[in-house]
């Protein structure tokens, strides 16, 4: 499903949440992140905080809010707002 949205990546193994935003396919994004994590474990690429969730292997990507007619800059602002909101509530956002 190709959408413009903010999203959470979560795991049942811990209470950590990663917040992101995308103008594209959510499942494809999750697959790309898993591939980057696998490469990182093999010594290729840079560390990303999302790996703290991906390492458990049972993660899922969940759309939070969808947007129409929004620029990438505005989408990144929505992501930042969501991170700030979660931090204010005391949720374990790892961003």
pLDDT band at 2 (very low <50, low <70, confident <90, very high): low
Coil, strand or helix: which one is 95? coil
Once rounded to an integer, what is the mean pLDDT over residues 76-95?
93
Please tell me the predicted confidence (pLDDT) of residue 13.
Answer: 86
- Name which of 32, 25, 18, 31 is nearest 4 in CA terms: 25
19 neighbors 79 (Cβ within 8 angstroms) = yes
Q: What is the pLDDT of residue 31?
A: 95
Domains of the chain, with CATH numbers? 2-83 (3.40.1440)
Angle, vertex CA 4, rays to CA 13 and CA 49, nearest 5: 35
Predicted pLDDT of residue 1: 46
CB 9 within 8 A of CB 50: yes
Mean pLDDT of the chain, nearest integer: 92
15, 93 in Cβ contact below 8 A?
no
For the full predicted model, state whether its pTM sits above 0.85. Answer: yes
């Amino acid at each position: 499903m190709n959408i413009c949205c903010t999203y959470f990546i979560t795991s049942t193994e811990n209470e950590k949440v990663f917040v992101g935003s995308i103008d594209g396919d959510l499942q494809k994004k999750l697959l790309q992140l898993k591939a980057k994590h696998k490469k990182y474990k093999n010594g290729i690429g840079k560390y990303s905080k999302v790996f703290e969730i991906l390492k458990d292997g049972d993660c899922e990507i969940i759309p939070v809010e969808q947007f129409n007619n929004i620029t990438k800059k505005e989408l990144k602002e929505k992501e930042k707002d969501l991170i700030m909101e979660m931090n204010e509530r005391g949720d374990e956002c790892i961003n």
